[in-house]
Structure 1
């Protein structure tokens, strides 16, 4: 492959080159779709309390919070003549995630299933995170919207098949979709086995069919030892921020304890404490002039995020809060509100759970189609307007669950969700990639996913408490809250500074 630096203009790639470099997302989504559609079902089947589902799910976002920035940071600094920069992480994550997918439905107890969710989600993130930076590495700005849209297309296709697998094994193969108490149905087990194979095979297709541009030495080592460190904030600033966050966490912990509030809320205090402690420790390193320490660089870069990234952070927060509410509570909401059953061994409950899997398959199918249309809509309007329209469709779709009694009509609700999902997976990343320094693309893409992980942790900490306290454990209200949150995210998108949009306007002038 021709020598192209990360900081130089990349040549345009052909349709099939973009296809090959994105194909791995087909497999990644097999893992995510099976996780999202079936994890709550597995937890409930193994004896998990529905009120604590959000707490059980915390393993996934906490893992992402730890793994994503580290994988991004080290993938920026990795290069192998044969395996490249990002592809080693694709392969390792695929192998680990596939093993976890095989073990997950065979978990003998609830806590082992929760532990497997932790391992599985962390492994998926090892593969997924570098894929986002991969688009910035390989494509010029003019093709990045198309590149992320192609990823969304494969995400949609993969999720359609993966989400429908339990239903397909039940209705086409004849496997049972029910089992004795404490046992996972055979239809679910075989869905995870197929997902494991698809995950590994699709990711390895990208690994073997795509070659990365060999980097300059400075691309592997962005911080040169002979270059002066640019200090924007003194160590004392980081120390004050850290101490302030630790104080907030301590006060919230005391309040939650004295008011005897839901223990799940303590997780929120823990996350705030982690950020506070990180800032405090970084300040101690900086006072010793150890600015080139990897931990310090991660904290400093987080503190100095580009303006566009900060604006998009709020959009992402409310978008993913809505999605996490949907993933956690759709099964419980549909089975109790529409199928009128909470007994996990009953036929009505399992029919409702299977229908949710099909609904998840449906919205991902819509997303695959919408992903091909969104780049053209963005050219006609703007990426900000396109994202607003898509998120509004998704928000209205989630709210509509409350008003529907015939489960067949939920298909229409999922059309809106599918349009929003396609946009969430592509448009924010396309806007962000133009605002990031090329040499730190992987790291900042990892940090950007803080604003996917943090709302998930907030949702897991707060939603269960809110629904049980204010809505008498009627889980359908979690979807209404999610719909409102998604519409708010769309409105916030109007305030994002899109660098490419500004550049195009200046060129037109």
Structure 2
């Protein structure tokens, strides 16, 4: 069920580790980066709830409910991954980011609901932790690909002004192939439970037009269960912190630790490659911690586990301010990796236990508003804050991210996690093979 996330994370990790580098290479300034990254959260805001809504209402005897969306997203994302590193102008790279992020969301959103569909409540924490494992594993490889290609295989990691280095270009090609193959493996090797009442589902679909569906998708934010509302605040500050890191980590490390802003220099590209290694480390930590989180959650509760993990993330980002040796950044990434593992599993395990089975994809899409809204806010204000209060020094974006992690952790204390299932229709033996 979760193997496809290995491929999805190839696309996501290559995007997070390299898009700022591509933008800067094509002429973007540091204070322009947040607004250029706006494509990512806006596509999520538009795509996720709609895909969640319609994946709930889809059924094919051969392809099931969620798997058609996995396949379409994989195909589109593979095309985007091949095109992105061939951008010759900044506007082209921005358009490719729109296409890539929208495609990733088409695949990723139904995967969240997929685990909720197939597992009983008592197995969902482990199910989402397994997703975190595959996410971390895929991201370790993808994030480090430019560094691996340069240092192990001798692929060139510098290029003339305005050109994307070969190591980055080849990394995106390999990522596109991995994305497609991993997702399609899940498509062809899993089955899904049919709706309880297929006739009723078809009648409901016939009665609801496409615009009615889109309207209901976006109005869902006003009909969230109480626990979702509480978790939405936690999600907001968690993802604000992550987005600050993804946007500014490359410019922070290259300028603050490596001491250069010249995108054509060997030093800049060495620093940018090292950011990929840092991202690989935090994702690797996340893959390992994913197995520990369910054990810890059983002892101290899911919300306190999430609080502690988010505090680890805050300490990790804050520590970058005090580092001058690039190797020590790997220690900082341990804290970020612990937070990342929990962000990918604990909130989903908590809300899936209180959602009706027939609206799992819909509510997962609505919940993901609180992934994309903080990213839109970050894109809108981070550049202004750095320019106005911090002399446009990008390292302070990571400090802001650390504070945001701490706030998210404290907000976990208001979350009710009663572990009660509402209208859960999947049989208790759902983990057993479908025949």
Q: TM-score of the superposition, structure 2-length normalised?
A: 0.94
Matches of residues 231-250 of structure 1 in structure 2 within 5 Å?
none
Give the gaps of 5 or more residues in structure 2.
423-435
Structure 2 SS opposite 1:494: helix
* 1:451 aligned residue: 370
Deviation string for 1:306-349 (max 9, x for gaps)? 00110000000000000000000001111111111011011211
Structure of greater relative contact order (alpha carbons < 8 Å, 6+ residues apart): 2
Contact 1:167 1:358 in 2 (8 A): yes
* Equivalent in 314, 319, 323 of residue 238 of structure 2: 319
Contact 2:43 2:98 in 1 (8 A): yes
Contact 1:309 1:448 in 2 (8 A): yes
| Whole-angstrom distance in 2 between the partners of 1:225 and 1:338 | 56
* 1:127 aligned residue: 107
Alignment pair present for 1:136 and 2:55: no
* 1:185 aligned residue: 165
* Equivalent in 50, 56, 73 of residue 76 of structure 1: 56
Deviation string for 1:196-241 (max 9, x for gaps)? 00000000111111000111236973985999xxxxxxxxxxxxxx
Deviation string for 1:368-427 (max 9, x for gaps)? 000011000001110011001100000000000001111111111000000000000000
- Quick one: structure 1 residues 311 and 218, their matched pair in 2 at CA, closer, same or farther if it must change by over 3 Å? farther
| Whole-angstrom distance in 2 between the partners of 1:498 and 1:172 | 47
Deviation string for 1:112-137 (max 9, x for gaps)? 10000000000000000000000110
* 2:266 aligned residue: 347
* 2:228 aligned residue: 309
Alignment pair present for 1:338 and 2:318: no
* 1:148 aligned residue: 128
What RMSD in Å do the two structures reach over aligned CA positions? 2.0
| Whole-angstrom distance in 1 between the partners of 2:392 and 2:63 | 50
Contact 1:86 1:130 in 2 (8 A): yes
* 1:424 aligned residue: 343
Give the gaps of 5 or more residues in structure 1.
1-20, 228-289, 504-509
Task: Report the CA distance between 1:294 and its aligned residue.
Answer: 2.2
Q: Which of structures 1 and 2 has the bigger CA Rg?
A: 1
Contact 2:316 2:332 in 1 (8 A): yes
| Whole-angstrom distance in 2 between the partners of 1:187 and 1:347 | 13
| Whole-angstrom distance in 1 between the partners of 2:159 and 2:82 | 18
Contact 1:218 1:224 in 2 (8 A): no
- Quick one: structure 1 residues 175 and 300, their matched pair in 2 at CA, closer, same or farther if it must change by over 3 Å? closer
Deviation string for 1:39-65 (max 9, x for gaps)? 000011111122100010001110110
* 2:94 aligned residue: 114
* Equivalent in 66, 82, 85 of residue 46 of structure 2: 66
* Equivalent in 5, 10, 13 of residue 30 of structure 1: 10
Deviation string for 1:435-468 (max 9, x for gaps)? 2121111011011110000000000000010001
Task: Report the CA distance between 1:474 and its aligned residue.
Answer: 0.7
| Whole-angstrom distance in 1 between the partners of 2:206 and 2:319 | 59
| Whole-angstrom distance in 1 between the partners of 2:129 and 2:291 | 7
Matches of residues 145-184 of structure 1 in structure 2 within 5 Å?
145-184=125-164
Matches of residues 82-121 of structure 1 in structure 2 within 5 Å?
82-121=62-101
Task: Report the CA distance between 1:301 and its aligned residue.
Answer: 2.8
Contact 1:175 1:187 in 2 (8 A): yes
| Whole-angstrom distance in 2 between the partners of 1:108 and 1:102 | 13
* 1:207 aligned residue: 187
Task: Report the CA distance between 1:298 and its aligned residue.
Answer: 2.6
Contact 1:382 1:501 in 2 (8 A): no
| Whole-angstrom distance in 2 between the partners of 1:363 and 1:25 | 17
Structure 2 SS opposite 1:469: helix
Structure 1 SS opposite 2:150: helix
Task: Report the CA distance between 1:481 and its aligned residue.
Answer: 0.5
| Whole-angstrom distance in 1 between the partners of 2:341 and 2:237 | 16
| Whole-angstrom distance in 2 between the partners of 1:499 and 1:64 | 29
Matches of residues 317-466 of structure 1 in structure 2 within 5 Å?
317-466=236-385
* 1:217 aligned residue: 197
Task: Report the CA distance between 1:31 and its aligned residue.
Answer: 0.2
| Whole-angstrom distance in 2 between the partners of 1:501 and 1:352 | 48
Contact 1:79 1:220 in 2 (8 A): no
- Quick one: structure 1 residues 219 and 55, their matched pair in 2 at CA, closer, same or farther if it must change by over 3 Å? farther
| Whole-angstrom distance in 2 between the partners of 1:219 and 1:175 | 57
| Whole-angstrom distance in 1 between the partners of 2:203 and 2:386 | 48
Contact 1:222 1:439 in 2 (8 A): no
